[in-house]
Amino acid sequence: MLNCSPFESGYCEFQQILDDSAIDQILFRLAESAMRKAGHRYGAFLDAATTAAKLAIYMTYLEENQNLRKTGRLHHLEPKRVKEIVHEIQGALLRGKLLKVLGSQEPRYLIGLPYLWQQQHPWRPGQPRLINKALTPSEINLVEEKLPPDVPDAQVINSFQFIELLELLHEKSQSSLPVDRRTPLSEAFRDHIEMRLLHSKTVIQIEAFGELPFYGLARMTYSPTGQQERTYTVIEDVAEFFTLRQAWVDERPDVLRAVETLDIAVEDREQALQELSSLLQDWADKYHREGGEPMVLQMAVGKRLAD
């Protein structure tokens, strides 16, 4: 099921562990997307999973006529905990309190940084990128030369300004939280955010001359490592595919499930995939009618790895 090219050594060995359980596999892929690609915190992912489980419990609670004990027994937790969970969910549903979910593909405190930077430290062509009275013009030149080409219009700032920026960002991202859940920006958290920004090459660090380094904004998007634009559509496609399959479980008449397994000669492959692609388009063109019911088709074809 999992692919094992030499560049993905991790997957190979995990294969043994995740083995036959599809749910474990999906969870692993989700963790990868959320944490490794999008940069969500470890704890945030755990919280999101817990929240999902709590919602499931809440559904059972409703189905079982709001019987705390029975719900608890069905899912093996204390009725006391069930009650807390029910309160938590209802608080979210009725009073708009927030549950601990990931909320968006990328953490807000990461997405927002480039804009805040530009706002706080704008730069116009012709001006010096770095304003620092302790440095000679030639030193400033050295710093500016280390910037890659085509960086956004923003000044190069020093470490203190950078930390200030992160703190401001943290405040903003917390403004949507209820007061009791807000926390000051801890050192560990700050280090984490900085590491994420550097790792994703949104921000670059420029060594200063024996002092704390400078920071430059390298691009406007916080993007995960790898082909970010595709990475995100994957999750959305999977979510939609999941939804469609669930509808199929209910045997809705308007849902089609199709799974084909076949062997294709390597030399035919390209042609086969192209033909399939145009078959689908022709089909869609043929049946499309303005004002009809909106439909979606999700398809994936590729190498079959397990039977």
Please identify, among the stretches 119-127, 166-174, 176-184, 266-274, the one whose residues bind a second copy according to the rule CB under 8 A: 266-274
Q: Which does 83 bind (CB under 5 to 8 A by kind): DNA, a second copy, none?
A: DNA
DSSP codes of every residue in 212-238: SPEEEE--SS---SS-HHHHHHHHHHH
Residue 270 DSSP class: H
In the range 48-67, which residues lie near DNA by CB under 7 A?
A: 50, 66-67
Min CB(101)–DNA separation in Å? 13
If we measure between CA atoms, which residue out of 38, 39, 41, 15 comes closest to residue 28? 15
Q: Which does 150 bind (CB under 5 to 8 A by kind): DNA, a second copy, none?
A: none
If one asks whether residue 1 binds a second copy (CB under 8 A), the answer comes out as yes
Select the residue interacting with a second copy from 80, 87, 104, 176 (CB under 8 A).
104
Report d(CA 146, CA 157) in Å as an integer: 13
Q: Phi first, then psi: give them for residue 150, nearest 5 degrees.
A: 60, 40
Q: Phi first, then psi: give them for residue 205, nearest 5 degrees.
A: -100, 135
Nearest 5°: the CA angle 170, 172, 176 is: 110
Residue 159 is a catalytic residue: yes
Measured from the CB atom, the residue of 43 and 137 that comes closer to DNA is 43
In the range 169-198, which residues lie near DNA by CB under 7 A?
A: 183, 186-189
User: What single-letter amino acid sits at 207?
Assistant: E
- Name the active-site residue from 159, 175, 200, 223: 159
Min CB(176)–a second copy separation in Å? 13
How many CB atoms neighbour CB 145 within 10 A?
Answer: 8
Report d(CA 85, CA 91) in Å as an integer: 10
Helix, coil or strand: residue 199:
helix
- Mask 67-96, x = binds DNA (CB under 7 A)? xxxx-----xxxxxx-x-------------
The tokens 């013009």 sit on which residue?
Answer: 137
- Mask 131-170, x = binds a second copy (CB under 8 A)? ----------------------------------------
Min CB(26)–a second copy separation in Å? 5
Q: Can you give the binding site for DNA, defined by CB under 7 A?
A: 41-44, 46-47, 50, 66-70, 76-81, 83, 183, 186-189
